[in-house]
């Protein structure tokens, strides 16, 4: 796999900040038990954003991390390699006893070789709901923007898309930096945060959507089309096969891996605290090495999820689109991961 080398450079000033608290062990947190704590330094952040060929899997439920993202100054993401090569996906029918799934479309792919291990309607373009936000994150990261820039939410960010309103615990006038907006969009799937990322992009929303579609074309996502950045619009369409490509690419961004897979955060905006849980039950509950995750739902798309995971030393991508309920989506994902664990271990 050809990784896109990334780094994050942080410069700190004395401006005010809000803390972002990551609790990987809610039980320990509620019991007020002692746990490890980490404060990001410029070094730590640089290491997090540095991309590598093999993902480092952290033990789940073992630490409590306090991360300061609102430090002011000039936190920036920069890329040292563009463009990356397309991920080549190959079909295979070598595996038997595959589980059935409730989802309309599904894919399990070896993320290292591109080998398709499981496929159901994987070429069919369908609405993808908030899976859209994964491309929103990639475009934001690729833009080399100052992640400490303050973003104030405006009413237009809550207007929704495709005739849909945007429900949210955020409010017009809430302020956060770009890193926090990205975190809200990935972990909590906040639509106003994703809309604000597009609005504050150089050239505005139209330039952002153009960049999303250009990135999809660059990656070889031939069945994919983006109309906006949140996923509320059902004209955002893709196929399970295309999303396998996107997940493999997005997993190379350390910040996207980190932000999309933390089970719970307390957002302290200075004047109120938003206690937030990851939208993926498998991330919240632990038990699997999930390196990247994004869920989605609108009526037209059904319940969707994409994940990058490591099972039996095999990096794998799981895509589920159009499950009938959240529980059906979770059951499908669990069944596919369990089946994947029964396959021969990669050496």
Residues comprising the chain, all counted: 347
3-state SS class at 125: coil
Q: What DSSP designation does 132 have?
A: H
**How far apart are the C-alpha atoms of 154 and 189, rounded to whole Å?**
17
Summarize pLDDT for 238-292 with one digit per residue, the tens: 999 999 999 999 999 999 999 999 899 998 888 899 999 999 999 999 899 999 9
Residue appearing with tokens 């959240």? 326
**Annotated binding-site residue? 294:** yes
Mean pLDDT for the chain? Answer: 78
Task: Please give the radius of gyration of the chain, using alpha carbons only, rounded to the nearest integer.
Answer: 19
Q: What are the structural domains of the chain?
A: 6-341 (3.40.710.10)
Q: For residue range 215-227, list pLDDT tens digits in order.
A: 999 999 999 999 9
Contacts of the segment 88-93: beta carbons below 8 A, 24+ positions apart: 88/114, 89/114, 89/116, 89/241, 89/244, 89/245, 90/114, 90/115, 90/116, 91/116, 91/119, 92/116, 92/117
Among residues 64, 119, 122, 133, the one annotated as catalytic is 133
Active site residue 130: yes
pLDDT digits (tens, 9 = 90+) for 277-307: 999 999 999 899 999 999 999 999 999 999 9
DSSP letter at 243 equals H
Catalytic residue among 130, 148, 251, 293: 130
Contact call for residues 161 and 230 (beta carbons, < 8 A): yes
Rounded CA gap, 235 and 224, in Å?
10
Helix/strand/coil for 67 = strand
Q: Confirm if 317 and 153 have CB atoms less than 8 A apart.
A: no
- Check 122, 168, 189, 260 and give the catalytic one: 189
Distance between CA atoms of 347 and 344, rounded to whole angstroms?
A: 9
Q: How confident is the model at residue 131 (pLDDT cuts 50, 70, 90)?
A: very high
Q: Is the pTM of this model over 0.85?
A: no
Place of tokens 């004395």: 14
pLDDT of res. 97: 78
pLDDT at 117 over 50: yes
C-beta of residue 278 within 8 angstroms of C-beta of residue 189 = no
Mean pLDDT is lowest, of 89-93, 242-246, 319-323, for 89-93
Which one, of 146, 89, 28, 17, lies nearest residue 316 by Cα? 89
Q: 272 or 5: whose pLDDT is higher?
A: 272
**What is the predicted pLDDT for the residue at 144?**
87
Phi, psi dihedrals of residue 346, rounded to the nearest 5°: -75, 135
Residue 29 has pLDDT above 60, yes or no: no
189 is catalytic: yes
Q: Judge contact between 154 and 273, C-beta under 8 A.
A: no
Residue 52 has pLDDT above 70, yes or no: no
Query: What is the crossing angle of helices 254-261 and 178-187, to 10°?
Result: 60
- Compute the distance between CA of residue 42 and CA of residue 133 in angstroms, rounded to an integer: 26
Please report where in the chains the tokens 């809000």 appear, as a residue. Answer: 18
Around Cβ 201, how many Cβ atoms within 10 Å? 22
């Amino acid at each position: 796999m050809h990784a896109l080398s990334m780094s994050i450079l942080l410069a700190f000033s004395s401006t005010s900040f809000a803390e972002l608290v990551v609790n990987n062990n809610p039980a320990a947190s509620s019991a007020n038990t002692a746990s490890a704590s980490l404060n990001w330094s410029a070094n730590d952040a640089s290491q997090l954003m540095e991309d590598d060929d093999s993902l480092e899997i952290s033990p789940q439920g073992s630490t409590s991390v306090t991360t300061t993202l609102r430090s002011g100054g000039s936190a920036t993401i920069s890329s040292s390699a563009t463009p990356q090569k397309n991920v080549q996906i190959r079909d295979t029918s070598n595996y038997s006893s595959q589980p059935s799934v409730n989802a309309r479309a599904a894919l399990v792919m070896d993320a290292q070789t591109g080998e398709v291990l499981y496929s159901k309607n994987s070429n069919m373009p369908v609405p993808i709901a908030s899976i859209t936000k994964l491309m929103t994150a990639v475009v934001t990261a690729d833009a080399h923007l100052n992640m400490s820039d303050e973003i104030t939410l405006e009413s237009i960010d809550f207007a929704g898309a495709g005739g849909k309103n945007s429900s949210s615990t955020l409010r017009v006038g809430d302020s956060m930096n770009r890193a926090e907006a990205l975190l809200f969009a990935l972990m909590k799937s906040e639509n106003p945060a994703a809309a604000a990322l597009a609005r504050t992009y150089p050239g505005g929303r139209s330039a952002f959507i153009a960049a999303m579609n250009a990135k999809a074309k660059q990656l070889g996502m031939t069945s994919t089309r983006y109309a906006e950045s949140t996923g509320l619009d059902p004209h955002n369409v893709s196929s399970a096969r295309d999303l396998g490509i996107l997940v493999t690419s997005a997993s190379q961004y350390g910040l996207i891996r980190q932000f999309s897979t933390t089970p719970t955060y307390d957002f302290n905006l200075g004047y109120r605290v938003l206690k937030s849980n990851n939208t993926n039950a498998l991330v919240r509950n632990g038990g699997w090495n999930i390196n990247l995750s994004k869920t989605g739902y609108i009526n037209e798309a059904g319940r969707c999820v994409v994940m990058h995971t490591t099972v039996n030393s095999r990096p794998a991508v799981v895509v589920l689109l159009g499950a009938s309920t959240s529980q059906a989506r979770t059951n499908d994902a669990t069944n596919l991961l369990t089946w994947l664990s029964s396959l021969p271990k990669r050496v």
